[in-house]
Each structure stands twice: as C-alpha cells, then as structure tokens.
Amino acid sequence: MSERNSTIKIMRGSLGTMINQIEELTDSEYDLYFGPAHPGSGNFSVKLKVDGEKIISARADPGYLHRGFEKLMEYRLPIQNAVLSDRICILEPLNWNLVHAEAVDELMGIEVPSRAKYIRVLMAELSRIQSHIIWYGVFSIGLGFDTGFKMAFGYRDYILDIFELITGGRVYPAGYICPGGVRRDIPKSAQDKILKVLDKINEMIKLEKLENPSLRSRTEGVGVLSINDAIRLGATGPVLRASGMQTDVRKDDPYEIYDELDFEIPVRKEGDAYARYLIGIEEIKESIKIIKQVLSRLPDGDFIDPSFKKPKLSAKIPQGEVYIRNEIARGEAGVYMVSNGGNTPYRCKIRGPSFLHMIPVLEYLLKGAQIADVPAIYWSLNICPADMDR
Amino acid sequence: MSKEKEILDDFSSKFDVKVKTQRDRRAWVSIKKTDLLDISAWLKEQGFTHLSSLSVTDWIDDDKYELTYHLWSYKDNILITLKTKINRKNPVIKSVSSVWGENAQIHEREMHELFGVKFEGNNDLSPLFLEDWKGVPPFKKDFDWRKYVREEFYDKNNERESGYYD
C-alpha cells in the first residue's frame, strides 16, 4: 500500500515538472540545432536561439571533424605531411598542398624550378575553379535550387578528370605539390584537354546567368557584412572582397609566379550573400584568364628540384621559422612552421580561412536573421568545416 | 626610404625592440610580454588591422611557451610577427581581444584549449573542439597521445589491437 502511495507521489511530482515545462514551452523562445549531421550544414553545427522565426543568438559548435593535424605533423616527415596536407580541406586539397610545400621550401632554402612554379599555379587555379563551382552548387541546393546544384557538380567533374590525368587522384592528389616542386610532369595531352574544359566552364557560367532571378530574390540584402565588421571579425578572401575591400594575397603578398600574371581582383560594395556569390563567379573567370596565361608561357625544364626526385627520408629541416600566406578559394590560408633542426617540423600551425568565417562571422551574421535565411547566409560564406577543424 | 623600412624603423625606435627582416614583407620581432598590449595598440593604429594568426610553440626544454602573433597590414602590405615567451608552468598573458576584437578572441580560445594558456581579459575561453576532455591540453609536447589512445580506445586482448602494446 505504502509503495503505491509513493508511486502516486512520484507521478504527481513528475506531473508538476511537466506542467512547468509546458508553461516554459508556451514561451515562443526555443533552441534549434543546425547540424552537425544535417544535409544542409556539412560536419558542423550551429546552435540557434530562436524567437518565433527570428534568431536571437547563434553559437557555433565545431569539433565534429577535428583530427589534430597540427600535432600529427610534428611526428611526420615533410614528404608524409605533403600527403596529410591534402586532408586539411576536402574541397581544395591542391591549394593546401601548395601552402605546406612552400613552407618546407622556404625553411630548407630550396629554389623551385620555374616549370614547377608554373605547374603549381596551374593546379592551384584549377582547384580554385572547382572549389568555386562546388560553392555555387551547395549554395544553390541550400536555397532549394536543385538545377544549380546538379549543373555545378556535373561541370566540376570535367576538372576532376584533369586532376586524374595529371595527379592520379580525382579528389585527393596525394601530395602532388610536394616540397621541391611537383611530383610528376604534366602529360603532353593535358594542355588541349585543359583548354577544352575551360570552354566547358565558360559554358556553365553563361547557363548560370539564365537561372539567376530565383537565386537573387533569396539572397539580395541577406546577411549584410560591413567592411569594418569584416575586418574586425577576421574575414578574408571572397567574403572580405564582397564587403568592399580590394585585397588578394596573390597581388599583395605574391608567391610563386603570381606577380608576373595579369588578372583582376573582383570587388563589390554590397556585402550581402548575393554579392559574395557574384564574387565567386567573377573569380572563376579570372582563374580561367590565369590558366590561359600559364599554359601559353609554360617553360621547359625540371618539374622538381633534382635533389628531391628521390627524397632522402633522413633529410633534416634546417633550424628556423616561416609564415606562409596563400590565397585559396575560401580566403587566406596560412602555415606557420618551426623547425629545431630535426627531420620533422617542431610546430606546424595551420590557419584556415573557415575558422574565422564559421565562428565569429557566422555567429554575427545569423544574429537577428530569419530561420529561412540560415542556409543562404551559411553557404554564401564559402565555408569548409574540414579546414576549420583541421 | 621604402615605406616598409620606415614603419620598421619607427617601431624599433619607439619600443626599443630589434626587428629582424627575413625577406620582403616579413619581419620578426621579439618583445617582452608586459609590452604586448601597448605594442598591439600602436601597431593597429599604424594599419595592422588584420590578426592573421595566433600560435603557441611549446619549447619544453627551456620550460617556455612562445606566443606568435602574425599581423598583416592591408595598407602597406607587410607582415609583422610578434613573438613573446611566457612561463610554461603558469602560462598567463594579457588578451589582445580588446585590440583585434572577435578575431583575436577566437584564436585565443583555440590556444587556451590546445595549450592551456590563460588569456586575461578574454571573457569566453570555453572549449571549442574537444568535448568532455579531461586530460592535459593535448598539443603540449609532454602529452603522450600514443599512450592516451592505447588506454582510451584500444584493447590489449583484442587480436588486431594487441600489436600496439609492445
């Protein structure tokens, strides 16, 4: 009997808390999780505090993809790290190869042969184009515009075919751009194929223009980032340029052969999602211009420093430290590498552009926005959870 | 005199520091940790509005942490790296989030998690990547990750995993 009484007591108690909870729920504020296993978010989550349709505050919650590459690189030889550097960002492995290779080159004092520099820039720009195409694709699907998504991934495949021809891998080149140069020369047939693919990409950009109005109505005036906020929050690359800042690491802090090439930096003043998307499309056109110049000027010679053709695994990295900056599709990529004279780096800090775009910039832009605009803002930042988590 | 040299000369005369020029657009400066905030504020006024990166290097043999602040000037296109050493046992330093805003704040939050450096004045140093982490900060040189993985994830009696215990 007494047992039954106590059960009833407990039931009453929990009913009481339930009533309390219901009272709390009738309040229009609630939490909404966007990600990390959401098809529209990538491997990353944002916790949104929502009042009705309006977002009161957003809190980024990274770490779903954290692999600790910086620590792992301290235990690996540069030749192994070249392969690891692919994985920093899934969507543009060649660009990350390049940043890592340049850091080792500068620490070891290697003079990279000029043909290798041209091939490196060629690959980096092809990689930028395919990354921007993915950006366009995921941006479209985020807004429910399926045609754009399918078109983008279809055309991206042409570039992946070239990657397969040159590096052997469609997505991951396995450290194709390595310390000293590149792993192998580009085949003779590659030049014509690349030019044909560039024509295809031009075709895609023209098609994309036809579909514009539906994208435009969802993105214009959404997620506006002023230039001062952009700098304070650490935005770089297309996001910063869409807010009106004329800057590009390739121009301001030139590496490889970018100072010899002729290209423009697209800039827009509006700072909204639509402006960021337009910057992406403009940058594809500029990259096509760069690739055509590189192909017409490609010099003969070695594609890798002769001493690196058969890499000595016991080779020591001279003592020193360097900070390398590159312009990758998402913004500014950096590698800070320290060596104390051993054969592995003593410390390798990787600065990914998405680290700033996905945490402070995203949190700032989502505050005060509508739920329906979350995908537009999120994908307009051209983000990659992999390079943030590393 | 080039603009770059002018800025570096100004810097070294104002704060009594030695500027090492590595190559074009790269300068490295070692500073005292007590001067950090003054120098940061001055450099920001000079146009170094972009904190490109903040990193910690664990010099375990010297018992020191070295903090490096990579600062880029959009105006003059030059990168200055500030380096300062702090005690490894009691790693405390003033936060620069008052100078570079949320950008610095998030970098410091990452470094606090991975190295355990305390940034005084940073109001949010909550964990970023690691959930329910109880061990020492994992990027320290004395953190034995092989041992950690063996203890936390592997089973000695499992045939396929026993190879990790020798």
- Closest-CA distance of chain B to residue A365, Å: 13
Count of Cβ atoms closer than 10 Å to residue A73 Cβ: 23
Q: Pick A253's closest partner by Cβ from B22, B77, B139.
A: B77
**Choosing among B102, B114, B130, which should be mutated to test the A contact, i.e. which has the most A CBs within 10 A?**
B102
Residues B8-60: pLDDT tens digits?
A: 777 777 777 888 887 888 889 888 888 888 888 988 888 899 999 999 999 98
pLDDT attached to residue A338: 93
- How many percent of chain A have pLDDT more than 90? 23
- Closest-CA distance of chain B to residue A115, Å: 23
Domain parsing of chain B, residue ranges: 3-133, 135-166
pLDDT attached to residue A309: 77
Per-residue pLDDT averaged across A178-201, rounded?
Answer: 89
B117 vs B166 pLDDT, higher one: B117
The residues of A whose Cβ lies within 8 A of any Cβ of B are 62-63, 66, 68, 70-71, 231-234, 236, 245, 247, 252-253, 321-323, 325, 332, 334, 336, 338, 346-347, 349, 351, 355-356, 359-360, 364, 389
Confidence of residue B107 (pLDDT cuts 50, 70, 90): very high
Residue B79 has pLDDT above 60, yes or no: yes
Q: For residues A91-120, b (16+ Cβ closer than 10 Å) or e, as one string?
A: bbbbbbbbbbbbbbbbbbebebbbbbbbbb
Residues A22-68: pLDDT tens digits?
A: 555 556 788 888 877 766 667 888 888 888 888 888 888 888 888 88
| DSSP type of residue B24 | T
Of B121, B128, B166, B123, nearest to B146 by C-alpha is B166
Tokens of A360: 């402070």
Task: Show the domains of chain A with their CATH numbers.
Answer: 59-389 (1.10.645.10)
pLDDT attached to residue A12: 53
pLDDT attached to residue B1: 53
pLDDT attached to residue A1: 46
Interface contact flag, A234 B102, Cβ < 8 Å: yes
What contacts A380, CB < 8 A, 6 or more positions away?
A139, A219, A222, A223, A273, A274, A276, A277
pLDDT attached to residue A314: 75
Of A225, A224, A221, nearest to A234 by C-alpha is A225
**Least confidently predicted of A35-49, A347-361, A376-390, B145-159:** A35-49
A19 vs B60 pLDDT, higher one: B60
pLDDT attached to residue A259: 87
pLDDT attached to residue A220: 84
- How many percent of chain A have pLDDT more than 70? 91
- How many percent of chain B have pLDDT more than 90? 16
pLDDT attached to residue B159: 82
Mean pLDDT taken over chain A: 85
What order do you get walking across the sheet with A29-34 strand by strand? A29-34, A45-51, A54-61
Of A165, A135, A129, nearest to A148 by C-alpha is A135
Instruction: Determine contact: B101 vs chain A, CB below 8 A.
Output: yes
| pTM over the 0.90 mark | no
Tokens of A268: 């827009």
Mean pLDDT taken over chain B: 86
**CATH architecture assignment, domain B3-133:** 2-Layer Sandwich (3.30)
What contacts A294, CB < 8 A, 6 or more positions away?
A118, A121, A122, A125, A257, A261
pLDDT attached to residue B3: 78
Question: Crossing angle, helix A146-167 and helix A114-142, to 10 degrees?
Answer: 160
Report ipTM (2 d.p.).
Answer: 0.87
Residue B2 has pLDDT above 90, yes or no: no
* Residues of chain B contacting residue A321, judged by C-beta atoms under 8 Å apart: 28
Beta strands A54-61 and A177-178: pairing type? unpaired
Residues A131-164: pLDDT tens digits?
A: 999 888 888 888 878 888 888 889 999 999 999 9
Instruction: Determine contact: B47 vs chain A, CB below 8 A.
Output: no
* Residues of chain A contacting residue B103, judged by C-beta atoms under 8 Å apart: 232-234, 356, 360
Residue B83 has pLDDT above 50, yes or no: yes
A223 vs A335 pLDDT, higher one: A335
Instruction: Determine contact: B21 vs chain A, CB below 8 A.
Output: no
